[in-house]
């Protein structure tokens, strides 16, 4: 079993060992990547030992090497990491702590292997690896790792399990990763936090206006950046990125894949919500080359749900982020590629191929397209509303948002299941939750189990027939006012946050005049004008739509997953008929 320690910091060592032991012993990690129940002492989940038979089978995928002590075998920031299987000797895994000091967090011996989520994604490696003694290793390349994931089921599951639990450890203890320097309630800081959280990337947050050097190990470093434009990203090597866009962060950290301009995909999926991820999983597992283009982070609207309790197979519920992260890893396990933080701005149909133009100028060529871009919540028509978006007004209620408004009053607007889940979740940390609906009852729009919990909660007040008419504050939202449409009464409360979960606006503007839409902007499928007799076919040959963006779809996670998986059979049929009809056209990057 590997040794876990932090040299020179004895008290901290005990804390980390205790916390890590808690995670493994309880089987309830604090990070949403994996929150399944397990029993007994489970440190082997993060650092399992391969059996002799597994090592024997792995030899055909790698090259055996003997390396002297203190040889660097992988580095922080490295992309396309290789996996090393230890036959003899020991490996040290080194990361930077919150003060930027290198620390050995694990040693790995015979039968163990290196790597975490970076084995399956293009993300940068988060640690340095050195041989602690003379080592005999099996070096397995990235291409061979993909072969293992397809061909060696038991080994693949063991590697994936260890990768998830190792990432949990890094996130849970804010080890490695990056530091966000910014004011806690600033919209830009919150946007960066939300992006890194939803993409399961380890990070720390330092607010220079609150931290003191004697209270936080990062504060002294933060003071040296007094002239930096906030928010900023601080890297372990001291480099700083001021006021970065989300796309810049995604590129810098390797969260998004580097697109090959000459690649032609079998299917390009636009949107990584439940429907798009289901298409990616089923398509990639059945041998199709799949690229998923997502504007922010996997999960879609479902990714903002704190707890989904009526999804089949999860009797204790599952968070939207957990479900999305599992699905993303599952798709990447089968070889699907993820272009994160990329918007599609145009769709062209050329012969039997489709060209997607991305916001950064890249063009993607694919034989078929699945539009799964989903829908977004509507905004309120209230003065000053835009001013407080991201700094008090939110469209998601996850652990991050709950932390921002802990012990404060909050307002949730909406009468659907998402609003109900948000109100119940926030009531665990907020001082009180005010839930506003425009009608007399929740019964027509919300599941009964949520209604009963809301009605029985002493920390939730349901305000019927009410609409928000005022949002106020200085640098962040501080007060919300609403009016009762029946009585004419008004109320103003000091609040920590306003959560808006009303309506559904389809994310379909980018298809322009190419794909047929209904009067509300949802994509028409399965009509007499569609190119084939399929529920998901659009009017453009080879283009399908699934999930919330499709007209007349059922706005539920389970139905979105079902549509995303079923459409793969239509894609197979279409590709069989059109794969060799024309050679792929040549595309180039769009002009800047």
Domain CATH number, residue 208: 3.40.30.10
User: Does 33 share its domain with 166?
Assistant: yes
**What length does the chain have?**
592
Within a domain: 532? no
* pLDDT digits 0-9 by tens, 491-527: 999 999 999 999 889 999 999 789 999 999 999 999 9
In the sheet that holds 432-436, the strands lie side by side as: 393-394, 497-500, 409-413, 432-436, 460-463
d(CA 83, CA 85): 7
- pLDDT more than 70, % of the chain: 87
Q: Of the residues 145, 172, 199, which one is the last residue of a structural domain? A: 172
User: Does 15 share its domain with 154?
Assistant: yes
What tokens were used for 563?
């549509």
Name 482's Cβ contacts closer than 8 Å, sequence gap at least 6.
Answer: 411, 436, 463, 466, 467, 468, 469, 470, 490, 491
User: Does 72 share its domain with 191?
Assistant: no
Within a domain: 492? yes
Q: Of the residues 500, 535, 564, which one is the last residue of a structural domain? A: 500
Within a domain: 439? yes
d(CA 537, CA 526): 6
CATH number for the domain that contains residue 319: 3.50.50.60
pLDDT of residue 583: 66
Please list the residues that pair with 240 across neighbouring strands. Answer: 234
CA distances from 55 to 113, 137, 166 (A): 10, 11, 21
* pLDDT digits 0-9 by tens, 11-31: 222 222 223 333 333 333 333
Residue 519, CB-side half-sphere exposure with 13 Å CA sphere: 0
Judged by DSSP in three states, 499 sits in: strand
pLDDT of residue 310: 87
d(CA 36, CA 140): 30
Tell which phi-psi region holds residue 564, choosing left (phi > 0), alpha (psi between -120 and 50) or beta. Answer: alpha
Judged by DSSP in three states, 301 sits in: helix
- pLDDT more than 90, % of the chain: 66
Question: CA-based diameter of the chain, in Å?
Answer: 81
Cβ atoms within 10 Å of 490's Cβ, excluding its own? 12
pLDDT of residue 10: 30
Please list the residues that pair with 376 across neighbouring strands. Answer: 505
In DSSP notation, 112-180 reads -B---GGGTSSPPP-SEEEESS-EEEEEE-HHHHHHHHHH-HHHHHHHHHHHHHHHHHHHHTT-SSEEE
d(CA 465, CA 482): 10
d(CA 135, CA 88): 5
User: Does 273 share its domain with 368?
Assistant: yes
Q: What integer is the mean pLDDT of 74-101? A: 88
d(CA 450, CA 440): 16
User: Does 412 share its domain with 270?
Assistant: no
CA distances from 261 to 270, 283, 361 (A): 17, 21, 11
Within a domain: 511? no
User: Does 285 share its domain with 308?
Assistant: yes
Q: Look at residue 134 and tell me whether its pLDDT is greater than 90.
A: yes
User: Does 167 share its domain with 22?
Assistant: yes
Within a domain: 569? yes
Residue 377, CB-side half-sphere exposure with 13 Å CA sphere: 26
Print the domain residue range for 226: 178-250
* pLDDT digits 0-9 by tens, 560-572: 999 999 999 999 9
* pLDDT digits 0-9 by tens, 312-350: 998 988 888 889 988 999 999 999 999 999 999 999 988
User: Does 559 share its domain with 457?
Assistant: no
Within a domain: 544? no
Q: Which helix (H) or strand (E) holds 577?
A: helix 557-578
Cα Rg, the chain, nearest whole Å = 25
Q: Look at residue 528 and tell me whether its pLDDT is greater than 50.
A: yes
DSSP for residue 36: -
pLDDT of residue 302: 83
User: Does 229 share its domain with 122?
Assistant: no
Within a domain: 507? no
User: Does 85 share its domain with 166?
Assistant: yes
Give the chain's domain count.
4
Q: How confident is the model at residue 5 (pLDDT cuts 50, 70, 90)?
A: very low
Q: Of the residues 172, 195, 213, which one is the last residue of a structural domain? A: 172
Bridge-based pairing state of the strands 264-270 and 290-294:
parallel
User: Does 31 share its domain with 151?
Assistant: yes
Q: pTM for this structure?
A: 0.86
* pLDDT digits 0-9 by tens, 239-289: 899 999 999 999 999 899 889 989 999 999 999 999 999 999 999 999 999
Name 115's Cβ contacts closer than 8 Å, sequence gap at least 6.
Answer: 81, 83, 84, 159, 163
Within a domain: 381? no
- If we measure between CA atoms, which residue out of 83, 90, 87 comes closest to residue 55? 87
Please list the residues that pair with 308 across neighbouring strands. Answer: 318
User: Does 310 share its domain with 399?
Assistant: no
Q: Evaluate whether 328 touches 339 at the Cβ level (below 8 Å).
A: no
φ and ψ at 52, to 5 degrees?
-60, -40
* pLDDT digits 0-9 by tens, 168-219: 888 877 777 889 999 888 999 999 999 999 998 999 899 887 755 444 455 4
Q: Look at residue 223 and tell me whether its pLDDT is greater than 80.
A: no
Mean pLDDT taken over the chain:
87
d(CA 280, CA 288): 9
């Amino acid at each position: 079993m590997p040794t876990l320690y932090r040299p020179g910091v004895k008290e901290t060592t005990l804390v980390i060992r205790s916390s890590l032991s808690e995670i493994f012993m309880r089987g309830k990690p604090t990070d949403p990547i994996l929150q399944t129940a397990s029993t007994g002492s489970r440190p082997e989940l993060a650092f399992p030992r391969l059996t002799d038979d597994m090592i024997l089978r792995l030899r055909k995928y790698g090259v055996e090497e003997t390396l002297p002590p203190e040889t660097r075998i992988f580095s922080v920031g490295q992309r396309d990491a290789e996996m090393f299987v230890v036959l003899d000797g020991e490996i040290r895994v080194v990361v930077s702590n919150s003060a930027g000091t290198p620390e050995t967090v694990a040693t790995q011996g015979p039968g163990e292997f290196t790597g975490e989520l970076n084995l399956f994604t293009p993300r940068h490696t988060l640690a340095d690896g050195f041989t602690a003694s003379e080592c005999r290793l099996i070096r397995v390349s990235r291409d061979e790792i993909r072969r293992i994931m397809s061909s060696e089921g038991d080994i693949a599951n063991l590697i994936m399990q260890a990768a998830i639990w190792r990432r949990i450890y890094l996130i849970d203890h804010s080890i490695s990763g990056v530091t966000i320097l910014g004011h806690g309630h600033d919209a830009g800081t919150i946007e960066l936090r939300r992006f890194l959280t939803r993409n399961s990337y380890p990070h720390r947050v330092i607010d220079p206006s609150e931290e003191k050097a004697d209270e936080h190990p990062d504060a002294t470093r933060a003071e040296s950046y007094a002239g930096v434009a906030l928010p900023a990203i601080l890297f372990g090597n001291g480099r700083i990125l001021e006021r970065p866009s989300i796309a810049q962060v995604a590129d810098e950290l390797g969260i998004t894949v580097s697109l090959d301009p000459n690649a032609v995909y079998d299917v390009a999926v636009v949107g990584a919500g439940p429907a798009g991820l289901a298409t990616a999983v089923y398509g990639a597992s059945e041998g199709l080359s799949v690229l998923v283009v997502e504007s922010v982070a996997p999960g879609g609207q479902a990714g903002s749900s704190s707890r989904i309790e009526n999804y089949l197979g999860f009797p204790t519920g599952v968070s939207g982020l957990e479900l999305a992260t599992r699905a993303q890893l599952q798709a990447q396990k089968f070889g699907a590629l993820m272009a994160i933080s990329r918007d599609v701005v145009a769709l062209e149909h050329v012969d039997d191929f489709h060209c997607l133009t991305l916001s950064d100028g890249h063009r993607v060529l694919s034989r078929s397209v699945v539009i799964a871009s989903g829908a977004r919540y509507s905004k309120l028509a209230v003065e000053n509303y835009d001013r407080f978006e991201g700094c008090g007004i939110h469209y998601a209620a996850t652990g991050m948002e709950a932390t921002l408004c802990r012990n404060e009053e909050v307002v949730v607007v909406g009468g659907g299941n998402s609003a109900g889940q948000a109100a119940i979740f926030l009531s665990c940390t907020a001082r009180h939750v005010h839930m506003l609906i425009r009608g007399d009852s929740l019964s027509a729009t919300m599941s009964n189990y949520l209604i009963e919990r809301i009605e029985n909660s002493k920390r939730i007040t349901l305000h019927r027939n009410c609409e928000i008419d005022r949002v106020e504050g200085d640098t962040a939202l501080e007060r919300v006012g609403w009016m009762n449409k029946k009585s004419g009464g008004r109320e103003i409360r000091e609040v920590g946050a306003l959560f808006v979960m009303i309506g559904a606006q389809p994310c379909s503007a980018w298809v322009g005049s190419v794909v047929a839409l209904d009067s509300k902007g949802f994509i028409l499928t399965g009509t007499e004008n569609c190119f084939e007799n399929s529920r998901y076919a659009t009017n453009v040959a080879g283009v399908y739509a699934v999930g919330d963006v499709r007209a007349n779809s059922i706005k539920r996670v389970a139905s979105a997953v079902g549509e995303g998986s079923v459409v793969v059979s239509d894609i197979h049929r279409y590709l069989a008929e059109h794969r060799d009809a024309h050679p792929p056209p040549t595309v180039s990057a769009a002009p800047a």
